[in-house]
């Protein structure tokens, strides 16, 4: 049986700095991950803007801006893109409160996985705060569909992810992966799974101003008949594991750990975000649980319409 996570909120023990390249922008970017007080949540703060007003962007569904090839949040005209792997790290390791200072519009891609972010957390450590952690418990099935693809949340006593992908490429094909999310399972089964894409789609992405920083150092690149990365794959099913990693990050947009079973077939950022929006919009579908005590809450309403701009099932550069 999976070990219960702490019922108290957490944050980082100390600040930690990281730099890298944005996979879509190709620009250098630096971040400082700062400890934060209880009930802060995960907040991004752009430090490269002029003026005295500091804009904090909470990583919640209320601030979702786009899901084209990555997950982007925005507020007051400022955005931060490609947040999913960092959010997955916080969600997977049970970290509730962090202020992320960032001097650009995109989180650095690192090696295309969450491994470097896990190492940063290990470098500084996790601190427990004197405040109870509040989770969102799924009370009834919620489902969204697009064509043959679907995503659903089901009542479940735990945090389970059941992810299935189905690509025409013989290098990927149909893969399924199931994980009961705990910090140890996240580290072992998900954190090292890298983003992937097809070499044939590079010009399409470039024409849209995307994947400008993509390389064999941060992406599993697929040719017509082989993986082009000299080191090969980290897992035989690295592709579906990465989709599960993305789902862990995107479901963090709920603003609290989700207790339930998340299933998706041919999903991606778009459906991951849509299931969070759909769940929180139905007050009968969920409740807050606080140290085993349940309290009914009304729906969380978005401050802006959720923009889901891109096709969900093209080659993944997330």
24, 63, 65, 269: the active-site residue: 269
Tokens at residue 98, please? 């962090």
246 is in an annotated binding site: yes
3-state secondary structure of 62: helix
Cα angle value 63/69/73 (rounded, 5°)? 15
- Provide the sign of the torsion angle of the four alpha carbons 192, 150, 60, 65, taken in this order: positive
242 is in an annotated binding site: yes
CA 96, distance to chain mean position in Å, is 14
Nearest-angstrom CA–CA distance, 283 and 277: 12
Dihedrals phi, psi of 108, to nearest 5 degrees: -60, 145
269 is catalytic: yes
Dihedrals phi, psi of 86, to nearest 5 degrees: -70, -45
Tokens at residue 47, please? 């430090």
Cβ-contact 134, 290 below 8 angstroms? yes
Q: How far is CA 102 from CA 20, 33, 81, 253, 318, in A?
A: 11, 9, 11, 19, 19
- Tell me the catalytic residues: 269
Could you tell me which residues are annotated as the binding site for Zn(2+)?
85, 242, 246
């Amino acid at each position: 049986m999976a070990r219960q996570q702490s019922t108290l909120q957490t944050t980082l023990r100390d600040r930690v700095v990281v730099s890298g390249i944005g996979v879509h922008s190709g620009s250098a970017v630096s971040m400082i991950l700062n400890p934060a007080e209880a009930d802060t949540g995960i907040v991004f703060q752009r430090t490269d803007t002029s003026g005295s007003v500091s804009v904090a962007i909470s990583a919640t569904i209320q601030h979702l801006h786009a899901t084209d090839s990555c997950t982007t949040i925005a507020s007051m005209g400022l955005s931060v893109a490609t947040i999913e792997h960092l959010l997955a790290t916080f969600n997977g390791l049970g970290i509730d409160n962090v202020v992320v200072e960032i001097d650009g519009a995109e989180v650095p891609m690192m090696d295309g996985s969450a491994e470097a972010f896990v190492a940063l957390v290990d470098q500084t450590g996790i601190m427990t705060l004197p405040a109870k952690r509040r989770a969102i418990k799924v009370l009834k099935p919620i489902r969204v569909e697009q064509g043959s693809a679907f995503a659903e949340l089901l009542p479940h006593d735990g945090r389970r992810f059941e992810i299935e992908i189905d690509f025409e490429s013989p290098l990927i094909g149909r893969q399924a992966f199931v994980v009961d999310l705990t910090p140890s399972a996240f580290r072992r089964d998900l954190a090292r799974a890298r983003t992937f894409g097809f070499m044939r789609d590079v010009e399409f992405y470039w024409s849209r101003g995307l994947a400008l920083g993509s390389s064999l150092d941060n992406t599993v690149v697929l040719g017509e008949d082989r993986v082009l990365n000299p080191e090969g794959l980290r897992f035989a099913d690295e592709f579906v594991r990465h989709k599960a990693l993305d789902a862990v990050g995107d479901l963090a947009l709920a603003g609290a750990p989700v207790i339930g079973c998340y299933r998706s077939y041919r999903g991606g950022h778009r459906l991951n975000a849509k299931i969070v929006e759909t769940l929180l919009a139905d007050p009968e579908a969920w409740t807050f649980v606080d140290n085993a005590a349940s309290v009914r809450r009304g729906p969380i309403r978005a401050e802006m319409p959720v923009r889901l701009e891109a096709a969900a099932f093209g080659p993944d550069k997330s």
